[in-house]
Structure 1
């Protein structure tokens, strides 16, 4: 099984990257967050890999570190969550914030993630709440409900904005991609935006 790949980045988009290793190009499925953190094509890159072997395909999934890889595998143990949805979840929340939301059983916040409905959010909380505590040492102490505050890059406003865009009829993936583009354009400004400002900025990016 392939567990790690390092080489030259040939191309990337929001969901996949191609890495050249001694003349062989490996297509690796990644989260939007992982894609955002990759360098420009032509530069060296390394990813931790999970290899999925099925009768009809061998698929590689890439992660920036081993803890995120284990989190991905843990998400896949939940009924109804496969690799594609697990990557979508990792695209919507950074690992520490995701662990916090699940351990605190914050199903409302989880339903703002791409592809996560009420039942899926409840299953995540029910099946993984206790297991998420295993990531405390690696990702830092998880906040309590009383002290939990959004980080600058993951304020609750952006999740409320995503929910509002979906209520307007935009698909979850489209809404999140638009909001990610707003974040990438000016992370500091996006972190201070109100929900209505994020919605307007996202709509402009889709125009």
Structure 2
């Protein structure tokens, strides 16, 4: 089983990366957030890896941090969540925020993620609320106080902006990448933005690529 890859980035896309390790190219599927953290092609990188074996294929899933990999492994234990959906979830939300949403049972934030309906969100909370402690930058025992979830309006605005970009013909992974870039550029200033402004900022980012 391959547990990590260390080598040169040969090819990278929002969904996968090929890493040259001693002359052998290994393809690993990655979340949008791991993609954002990867260096440019030709530069050295390190990925934590989970090998997923199926009857017809062996797939590698790569992660920038061990915490992201650990959360991926927890997500795929939930009924109805496979490896691809787990990485889609991790593309749409950071480890810290996902852990807060799970422990806080913030269903509105979870259902704003692509592919997650209310029943799946409920299963995630029930199955993982007591398992994500220690991940995401907050302690396993927070003295009984639950972290406050992000306001539902912010999550809805991001989800609606993604949907709008998809309707304009952009791939979902590209849409999330653009909106994460807007978040990084504006910092806390991105939180109060409405869908129209998020969309305008994301389109500006995409036009400048």
Q: 2:138 aligns with which of 137, 140, 143?
A: 140
Structure 1 residues 29 and 169, CA, compared in 2 at 3 Å: closer, same or farther?
closer
What's the counterpart of residue 184 of structure 1?
181
SS in 1 for 2:20: strand
CA contact under 8 A between 1:179 and 1:202: conserved in structure 2?
no
SS in 2 for 1:87: helix
Bigger drift between 71-80 and 109-118 goes to: 109-118
CA contact under 8 A between 2:162 and 2:176: conserved in structure 1?
no
Matches of 1:158 and 1:91, distance apart in 2: 17
Matches of 2:23 and 2:80, distance apart in 1: 37
* Unpaired runs of at least 5, structure 2: none
Query: Deviation of residue 118 (structure 1)?
Result: 1.2
Alignment TM-score, normalising by the size of structure 2: 0.82
CA contact under 8 A between 1:158 and 1:198: conserved in structure 2?
no
Comparing both chains, which one has the higher relative contact order based on Cα–Cα distances under 8 Å and sequence gaps of 6 or more? 2
CA contact under 8 A between 2:31 and 2:87: conserved in structure 1?
yes
What's the counterpart of residue 97 of structure 2?
97
Query: Deviation of residue 191 (structure 1)?
Result: 4.1
Alignment TM-score, normalising by the size of structure 1: 0.83
Q: How does 1:31-110 map to 2 (within 5 A)?
A: 31-110=31-110
Matches of 1:111 and 1:41, distance apart in 2: 35
CA contact under 8 A between 2:161 and 2:198: conserved in structure 1?
no
SS in 1 for 2:135: helix
What's the counterpart of residue 159 of structure 1?
155
* Unpaired runs of at least 5, structure 1: none
Query: Deviation of residue 103 (structure 1)?
Result: 0.7
SS in 1 for 2:133: helix
Matches of 2:179 and 2:106, distance apart in 1: 25
Structure 1 residues 93 and 125, CA, compared in 2 at 3 Å: closer, same or farther?
same
